[in-house]
Amino acid sequence: MPYYIDDDAEGCSGWATVKDDGEVMGCHGTKQEAIDQAVAIALAEDSEYLGERQVDLSLPEYIRDAARQGLEFHADGLSGDGVVDRTVREARRMAAGEISEDKVVRVSAWAARHRVDLDAEGARPGEDGYPTPGAVAHLLWGIPTGARYDDAVAWFDRKSEQVKADRSRGMEMTPVKPRTEGSGVEFRSFEGEIRDVGDGNTFVGYAAVFNSDSEPLPFVERIAPGAFAKSLRNRKRDIRLYVNHDSNMVLASRRSGTLTLTEDDRGLRVEAELPDTTAGRDMRELLRAGIVDKMSFGFTIPRGGDRWSEDGRTRELREVALHEVSVVTGFPAYEATTAAVRSLSALSERTGMAVDDLSETLEALAAGEQVDPEKAEAIAALVKASQPEPEPEPANLLGLKAKQHDLLAKKWA
């Protein structure tokens, strides 16, 4: 089970090492002592260190009830003409107990602007004409208009300030995993899995399909149901939607609430709200024209996450660490992808960092974000040394794993 650190744990006056289920493993006088314990336990248990705990966004029941009531009134046609589809979608998420950091900040600001709407007759329970469209809008935004109004507004204001403070400190939840041999970022694409929906600003597709044999890679690969479950449960790690795996062309993210990833009977379902950017507008047109028909996902395999047949020609993915999903506008650039994977794997070997940690650190450095000093120093030392690539391992040391590695590096149709 993953571990994190928290400066507000029950029973600790300073920093604490906490298990993901809430159990306090130890209290510490300094942040570094808590980090050291969390990392040590995670390494010993082959688990994860999730970093500093994010803002707790567990929704109070009265906010969930408000969203449910708002959805009922909306279904009865009582919300008026001002409610947009996004508000309804987000109300459904709140009713289910889910809310994004971005939504919390927006609710706080929205409530301050629309407080005046509740001065109208019929805006409060028990008044003639209840509910007014303004009252329904408040409910859809998770704000009850009766006795719990002040409680809800205070909750959103408090959580909004915590989120803003969290962001200003540059806190980024970066999982730290034990280094595994042979790890590498892989990409898979699927055709005919995107369909335009709703008002044209959203689309639904599948980045992966379960129990379906791939084209020869040259080995045959299939994804088992539940392969993405652990990644999807980890709400502390952001997953983004890109165009062609290009991190400079972001379309949506889980953390902002614009990307929803779920597993259903078919596979990994992707629902995204496209932004009003050049990439977003271009993608809307490609979707409307039916030109785009592929999705892809980037992943690594944790220890024990895949199973190979004895002859090395069949591979089943049972658990994957999901890094990103992408809309693919053309044929997958497999040769370039292979080069990137090989380079990243080589850097992983030379820095002693796991591939997924290395990838996230490089991305954070490029964006000017704060990163772990030890990781930054390891990369800086590598650049300064400019050492040549290590020689390939002797052929007599390579067994079935080598065969699988070679198969992974070959182009698939």
pLDDT at 157: 92
pLDDT value of residue 359? 61
* pLDDT value, residue 175: 34
Please give the backbone phi and psi of residue 377, each rounded to the nearest 5 degrees, phi first: -65, -40
Give every residue of the chain whose pLDDT is below 70, as ranges. Answer: 1, 21, 50, 53-54, 165-187, 189-200, 215-219, 236, 330-371, 379, 382-413
Q: What is the pLDDT of residue 173?
A: 33
Q: In what order do the strands lie in the sheet with 202-209?
A: 194-197, 202-209, 267-273, 259-263
pLDDT at 93: 92
Please give the pLDDT value at position 338: 34
pLDDT at site 36: 81
The pTM assigned to this predicted structure is 0.42
The per-residue pLDDT for range 265-304, each reduced to its tens digit, is 888 998 888 888 888 888 888 877 777 777 888 888 887 8
